[in-house]
Amino acid sequence: MKIVLTGGGTGGHFYPLIAVAEQIHEMVNERKLLEPQLFYIGPEPFDAAALLAQAIEYRPSPAGKLRRQGGAIRNFFDIFKTSWGVVGATFQLFSLYPDVVFSKGGYAAFPTLCAARLLRIPVIIHESDATPGIVNKWSSSFARWIGIAHPDAAKGFSPKVQEKIALVGNPIRKEIEHPADEGGHEFLKLDTSVPTLFVLGGSQGAETINNVILDALPNLLPKYNIVHQTGKDNVEEVEAIAKPIIDSMRFENRYRTFGLLNTLAIRMIAGISDLVISRAGSGTIYEIASWGIPSILIPIPEDISHDQTKNAFSYARSGAAVVLKQRNVTKHILEAEIDRIINDAKMKEEMSKAAKSFARPGSAAKIARIILDTALEHA
């Protein structure tokens, strides 16, 4: 049995593939099936080590992006890159002839999906965002099954494919799905007497979030611990600005910065966090939801990324989060929202319950089951 995974470009598209692969391995053992061969076809993987850990073989396939703004010239040249990617993916799939292709969508998936359609290989797709992306909308017409994470996503697909859609949530890697029960304060050497704020700017960081946290630092440190993921390229600058503030206030045990957190650190921090302040990528939202932690979401503006704003408001409608638009965020507004949530025990409890309800645990297992059943039928 051969299974091809495709998608990526960002962690939000890539890591759900890893979560599904984990479940495929577990189900194969449970069903006493022969171990399948797993392949990832796409551009350079977001995390090559994660592929290796799940015994997934990487096969390169170039793919061009479709940029909505200011990228006309690059879009033109990327047409050729994508065309070459389709040719390469067709040869890749023909040589492998897998039993099923599972796609998370995004520009990286297009060549492989195009090749799968040409070769009549069964396709399963999953949409993480509240509004389906272009590639998933296109591939839904020939996909066998369509999984969605947000309830709002279904109306973004054609009425002709509605019977193939299932609301299953978003696949989350097992190693970060459940926060650590203890040890977080000791791990980070944080003050145990105050609540903890977990600031997530995404893997590349978020300059707006970093700046507003730094502006609010003198008012936040007397009341809270702050664990701040700044982005790899921003950590030195943020630390340089924060250090004089921390030193003058003598709160060295209340502020920690990281460029990019590993999975152990994420589990430890989530285990002690009272509130998350974050961007609104679909993968991040579902990780926060799985932890059952109230959140303040600051999505990337719609003129840059239409997905994040829709994701944020879709999640907020569940009662699990508050949304602050980037153009409105000031240190005073952010501090007021933090205080309002932290100081209202009933509100915190209701937001936590709403988050857990939104998370829909077991998503990766549901998708893995469909993939294996489709592969066995095809084989």
Q: Where are the domains of the chain?
A: 2-170+361-378, 176-359
Q: Which residue did the predictor score with more confidence, 339 or 379?
A: 339
pLDDT of residue 65: 58
List beta partners, residue 6. Answer: 103
Phi, psi for residue 293 in degrees, rounded to 5: -110, 130
Q: What is the mean pLDDT of residues 353-365?
A: 93
Average pLDDT over residues 278-289: 91
Q: Point out which residues pair with 199 in neighbouring strands.
A: 228, 277
Confidence (pLDDT) at 361? 87
145-148 and 165-167 as β-strands: parallel, antiparallel, unpaired?
parallel
Q: What is the pLDDT of residue 219?
A: 96
The mean-pLDDT minimum among 85-89, 116-120, 144-148 falls in: 85-89
CATH topology agreement for domains 2-170+361-378 and 176-359? yes
Model confidence at 214, pLDDT cuts 50, 70, 90, reads very high
Domain 2-170+361-378 -> CATH class: alpha beta
The confidence band for 45, taking pLDDT boundaries of 50, 70 and 90, is: confident
What is the mean predicted confidence (pLDDT) over 246-269?
A: 92
CB contact at 8 A, 190 and 265: no
Q: Which of 153-157, 173-177, 347-351 has the lowest mean pLDDT?
A: 173-177
Tell me the percentage of the chain whose pLDDT exceeds 70.
Answer: 92
CA 366 from chain center: how many Å? 18
Distance CA 247, CA 239 (A): 12
Q: Which residue has the tokens 């994420």?
A: 266
pLDDT for 95: 92
Task: Give me the pLDDT at residue 244, please.
Answer: 96
* Mean pLDDT on 366-372: 97
The class (CATH top level) of 176-359 is alpha beta
| Tokens linked to 207 | 């300059």
Residue 19 contacts residue 173 (beta carbons within 8 Å): yes
The whole-number pLDDT of residue 63 equals 60
Backbone φ, ψ for residue 99 (5° rounding): -85, -20
**CA separation for the pair 174, 359 (Å, rounded):** 14
Q: In the predicted model, what is the mean pLDDT of residues 213-222?
A: 96
Q: In the prediction, which pLDDT does 79 show? A: 61
How high is the pLDDT of residue 71? 52
Say which range, 62-71, 79-88, 129-138, 233-242, has the weakest mean pLDDT.
62-71
241: buried, middle or exposed (CB in 10 Å: 19+, 13-18, 0-12)? middle
Average model confidence (pLDDT) across the chain: 90
pLDDT at 42: 86
The arithmetic mean of pLDDT across residues 307-317, rounded, is 91
Report the alpha-carbon distance of residue 121 to residue 377 in Å, rounded: 12
pLDDT computed for residue 302 by the predictor? 79
Q: Mean pLDDT across the stretch 275-291? A: 93
When pLDDT is averaged across residues 272-298 and rounded to a whole number, the result is 94
Average pLDDT over residues 317-344: 96
Query: What mean pLDDT do residues 155-160 have?
Result: 96
Measured between alpha carbons, how far is 369 from 327 in angstroms, rounded to an integer? 43
Least confident of 167-181, 210-224, 301-315: 301-315
- Residue 60 has a pLDDT of 87
**pLDDT at position 78:** 55
The pLDDT, as a whole number, for residue 77 is 47
Whether the per-residue pLDDT at 80 is higher than 70: the answer is no
Residue 76 pLDDT class (50, 70, 90 cuts): very low
pTM for this model (two decimals): 0.85
**Residue 73 scores a pLDDT above 90:** no
